[in-house]
């Protein structure tokens, strides 16, 4: 029997996030208009300070255009027969694959409020990846070692996904 579950984690309170997104769009347009206006004045009389200010406004508009979608970030977890795929989705348009993990290769799994997590998080030389959005949610962690590199992933799976993960975990890996 195949086990498949896909879930998307969205921010619960999106008011501030949406406000920042709309503010970034307005600011981007204003910076572009000011930059082009200064560019037209630069063509009539050349000046180094005006050139620098023009480049700053146009550069800020381009940066806002490139990174405004990151204000609306979601995480997607896809579980398929013991493999867990992670992806980061920006504004429901751009998708960045974060990786794939075989659940049977995990050294430790459990909720972040467990004693084992507190031990792991304080270990030196551990790479920590936070792939969650809501701090008050039921967060879980994965700890694994690959090529002498220790990694700790914190995510917020649903209860159904947690139960599926537990069925594929090796014996004595779950720490409650």
The predicted-structure confidence for 118-174, as pLDDT tens digits, reads as follows: 999 888 889 999 999 988 889 999 999 988 899 999 999 999 999 999 999 988 888
Q: Please tell me the predicted confidence (pLDDT) of residue 45.
A: 86
**Under a CB-based contact definition with an 8 Å cutoff, are residues 89 and 8 in contact?**
yes
Residues ≥6 apart with Cβ < 8 Å to 79: 3, 4, 5, 6, 85, 161, 164, 165
Spatial CA neighbour of 26 closest among 74, 65, 56: 65
Q: Please tell me the predicted confidence (pLDDT) of residue 1.
A: 64
Q: Please tell me the predicted confidence (pLDDT) of residue 146.
A: 87
Would you say the pTM of this structure is higher than 0.85?
no
Local structure of residue 47 (DSSP, 8 states): -
**How high does pLDDT run on average in the chain?**
92
Sheet of 73-80, strand order: 4-9, 73-80, 83-90, 94-102
* Distance in angstroms (rounded) separating the CA atoms of residues 145 and 143: 7
Local structure of residue 174 (DSSP, 8 states): B
The predicted-structure confidence for 4-59, as pLDDT tens digits, reads as follows: 999 999 998 889 989 999 999 999 999 999 999 998 888 888 889 989 999 999 99
- Delimit the domains of the chain by residue range: 15-70, 103-168
């Amino acid at each position: 029997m195949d086990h498949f579950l896909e879930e998307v984690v969205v921010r619960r309170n999106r008011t501030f996030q949406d406000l920042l997104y709309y503010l970034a769009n307005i600011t981007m347009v204003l910076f572009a208009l000011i930059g082009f206006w200064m560019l037209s004045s630069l063509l009539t009389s050349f000046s180094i300070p005006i050139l620098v200010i023009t480049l700053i406004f146009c550069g800020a508009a381009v940066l806002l255009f490139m990174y405004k979608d990151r204000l609306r970030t979601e995480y997607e977890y896809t579980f398929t027969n013991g493999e867990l795929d992670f992806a980061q989705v920006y504004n429901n348009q751009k998708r960045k694959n974060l990786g794939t993990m075989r659940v049977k290769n995990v050294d430790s799994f459990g909720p972040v409020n467990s004693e084992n997590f507190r031990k792991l998080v304080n270990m030196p030389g551990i790479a920590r990846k936070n792939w969650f959005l809501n701090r008050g949610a039921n967060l879980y962690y994965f700890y694994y070692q690959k090529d002498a590199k220790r990694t700790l992933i914190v995510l917020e799976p649903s209860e159904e996904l947690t139960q599926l993960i537990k069925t594929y975990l090796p014996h004595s890996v779950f720490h409650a």
